[in-house]
Structure 1
């Protein structure tokens, strides 16, 4: 495939640098135009493009057919954020693994590898060949609003070990892995989707702490590293995001850490960039910084065109050298060749393997094993029910609508005097007041930190009642505000975690 490079036009070379976002569950004319006319090198599938494996496979087949039927016939990187298994963004049909924090609590490198293997097999069966995972940030800031349970934990060695196991699981089975978010988003209290976080630490701390998992991932052969929108004044006093900083992207990641692979920007449409730069300017700055792949979401076709045209113009006017462009295109083409993304193999695959996807029950067993190793009882929590339904008739069950699987499975074994579905955890205080003096089992979830005022009020009421227990499908940091509540900490609401929580409560794992 590398022989193609010399024959490619400037427009084709620039196109390979872009991964732009597909919209909708089918191949739209807008996306087809990006692939056929703009010759983009990659397409990112966001949530609104993901329903079930069969739908995703149909979409990716059509995307690849459009790519190999146009111009040089170079297949696409088709990427997704499958950070907790191929099923974490789908409505069903693939495994939704527990998030990294639960995996970190399990501490099981073999299960980490298996989760990577299964994610790779299921992703590739859908035609997704590039995963923006794993998160290797070390989350030591309890107030971090975005990383939280996406991190394996607070210990750099544990984070590095589990991340490398997941990376090997992905890449040994043909899925490109991405370590993110360089140089580290864990010790921040700002969400880069909304503003620009600042890592205001000295260089020695950054080298020894934040960079440790990235260094290990690079040694393990990770194919891609995603650079985040994070300012690091110790390395770049201009406070440019790392994604747009040559001092950080090239100076540290490429040169000092010796990373030879693909450097991907985090989404350039995030406020950590757009609050200060236009998208066209950000694309140019990212390439000058040393990025190979520009990940972006254009609001309109005109905005997408403007990004691509800005880079073409920057080359034609001499701001960016053609050698700089070709350096990145070469890395992209080499990675595509390595992972079988050439025209001949893609044509054969589309012809012989079109639309095939079969769920494997063993995959769910692996997820449940992982979930059961992550179950964490705290504050004196013990299994409280037995398979005897009479034991639970006095209890009131309050459950968040997103833990319906937990509620349904629990109610197969246990009956409750009263139950109430909450639309969100914020309704829990009012619901507790409606249950009189009955003992309460509360099931809550939220994918970010919960409001501490709500939790503190729950704790106050629980301290007075002395008959409240909580199953918490959320961040361990939320439990800071619930010191008086016996709780089962589950870290997130993956289906296997909801099943594991039921098994614990019913004493099934203890043979009760």
Structure 2
């Protein structure tokens, strides 16, 4: 690799520390300014950047060509393709691999490894070389609004074991894994996109729970670790969130835990940073704390201001240039390793035929689907008119994708010959909508209510709807939790309850097969659902 620390100017070195995003499906003026003017080290993709796989591949090529034309190091091209409910690429030809909690319910390292390997090969085929995954947060707070099914579960050892299998699956395919959100975002009740969360536990508890998966990932050789915009008073008593804390990033992660890879911030435009410190000052503080890569995902004005602020902080002596140099050396070393590894791997969207990939994913889905309880209602009857209530997420968030197309449970049951009427509802129902669905359900002897109700949405419409149906129902009512498994804690009178952890096609196919008795669910709860349904429970 011809780029060395000595060959780069201060501005070029600072640029290498930034990973930035833009809003277009081609290299527009914003993207060109990032690469040509600021010489950023990386680009992050979101759904806004994706129209088709051929388009995305061409975009990656064009961005790398811009960097090469400016005699720059190659770009990190990053994405949040976690699987399950967080997948920025959903075009035909891309596999809907299971998310973390579905893999946690399966409990098999082989399933986690295979899913990650499939994902990595497909990412590499469109030019993506860094995945901001897996989440190594231990989700032990049912009211967590931002992690939930993005976690493998509440057992630190299981999170560590499965997370490391995912890391191997990515990195053996030349896609850098990024373990997140250090030191752990699982035991929080605030979404750091919107505000500041705090984990108040002492060091003994952090060592025993939150830090276990990250320690194992470091031993596994994970390429990067992403920081959490979360305060940890047991480590940093100033009130700084981990992203801005030198005791957390340098003292704990670098020196105490011995991590030698890249420390990447979560996006500094998230309100936990931007509202209190500002993006530019946040970038300076993060680098002073020990971060190697600063993520600013959206706004050019913020990106420009942050890069200029870091350059000025070095010139004024606030940031020692040696602090910048240490990060650049790590960045260039990883880019060099990526180049060498990719040269040794064939470029293909999958190592196995697509039909076989889908069979693998369906098998994993069957091992993930969890039957929590059944009081004699399964299998359902295939000769009875069946009402399926399907909640649609109609507005996307950073952790919930509003899919433009979906394969529903109703679709899957119809494929098995079940006479189905499907009512599509909003995840956030009004009282009037609840009353209408209850009226529409009158007369059906077989109802399957799918829920998509993160705790932050309760006690709103979906809870009211299911509880009312349960109180009125004279036939059978089956509930399928298609995201967070905790929904049962807020429902009453439920006789049959399954958890799929996501509403992706493989899980819906498996759920339909289980409902008609064609498949036996093999998953075990990766989180406890109160005292009645403990960790690892299955019916």
TM-score scaled by length of structure 1: 0.92
Deviation at 1:509, TM superposition (A): 2.3
The residue that corresponds to 2:400 in the other structure is: none
Aligned length: 498
User: In structure 2, do the counterparts of structure 1 residues 171 and 417 end up closer, same or farther at CA, with 3 Å as the change threshold?
Assistant: closer
Deviation at 1:259, TM superposition (A): 0.4
Deviation at 1:440, TM superposition (A): 4.1
Q: Deviations over 1:107-147 (max 9, x none)?
A: 01101111111111111001000000000000010111110
The residue that corresponds to 2:498 in the other structure is: 488
The question of 1:4 aligning with 2:10 is answered: no
Does the 8 A contact of 2:438 with 2:468 survive in 1? no
User: In structure 2, do the counterparts of structure 1 residues 119 and 429 end up closer, same or farther at CA, with 3 Å as the change threshold?
Assistant: farther
The residue that corresponds to 2:426 in the other structure is: 423
1:385 to 380, 383, 408: 380
3-state SS of 1:272 partner = helix
Q: Which runs of 4+ in 1 moved over 4 A?
A: 356-359, 401-404
Counterpart-to-counterpart distance in 1, 2:40 and 2:330: 15
The question of 1:398 aligning with 2:389 is answered: yes
Q: When you count helix as a share of all residues, which structure comes out higher?
A: 1
Instruction: Tell me how large the CA RMSD over aligned residues is.
Output: 2.4
Counterpart-to-counterpart distance in 2, 1:316 and 1:35: 22
User: In structure 2, do the counterparts of structure 1 residues 446 and 81 end up closer, same or farther at CA, with 3 Å as the change threshold?
Assistant: same
3-state SS of 2:198 partner = coil
Counterpart-to-counterpart distance in 2, 1:290 and 1:432: 56
Q: Which stretch of the first structure deviates more once superposed, 451-460 or 191-200?
A: 451-460
The question of 1:448 aligning with 2:447 is answered: no
Q: How does 1:163-312 map to 2 (within 5 A)?
A: 163-299=163-299, 301-312=300-311
The question of 1:462 aligning with 2:470 is answered: yes
Does the 8 A contact of 2:243 with 2:249 survive in 1? yes
User: In structure 2, do the counterparts of structure 1 residues 122 and 440 end up closer, same or farther at CA, with 3 Å as the change threshold?
Assistant: same
The residue that corresponds to 1:367 in the other structure is: 361
Counterpart-to-counterpart distance in 1, 2:317 and 2:210: 36
Q: Deviations over 1:52-110 (max 9, x none)?
A: 3222111101111111111x331100000010179922232211122211110100110
Specify every segment of 5 or more residues in structure 2 that has no aligned partner in the other structure, as ranges. 394-405, 522-539
3-state SS of 1:178 partner = strand
Does the 8 A contact of 1:87 with 1:94 survive in 2? no
3-state SS of 1:98 partner = coil
Deviation at 1:457, TM superposition (A): 5.1
The residue that corresponds to 2:410 in the other structure is: 407
Does the 8 A contact of 1:139 with 1:153 survive in 2? yes
User: In structure 2, do the counterparts of structure 1 residues 328 and 191 end up closer, same or farther at CA, with 3 Å as the change threshold?
Assistant: same
TM-score scaled by length of structure 2: 0.87
Deviation at 1:36, TM superposition (A): 1.2
User: In structure 2, do the counterparts of structure 1 residues 510 and 125 end up closer, same or farther at CA, with 3 Å as the change threshold?
Assistant: same
Does the 8 A contact of 1:85 with 1:115 survive in 2? no
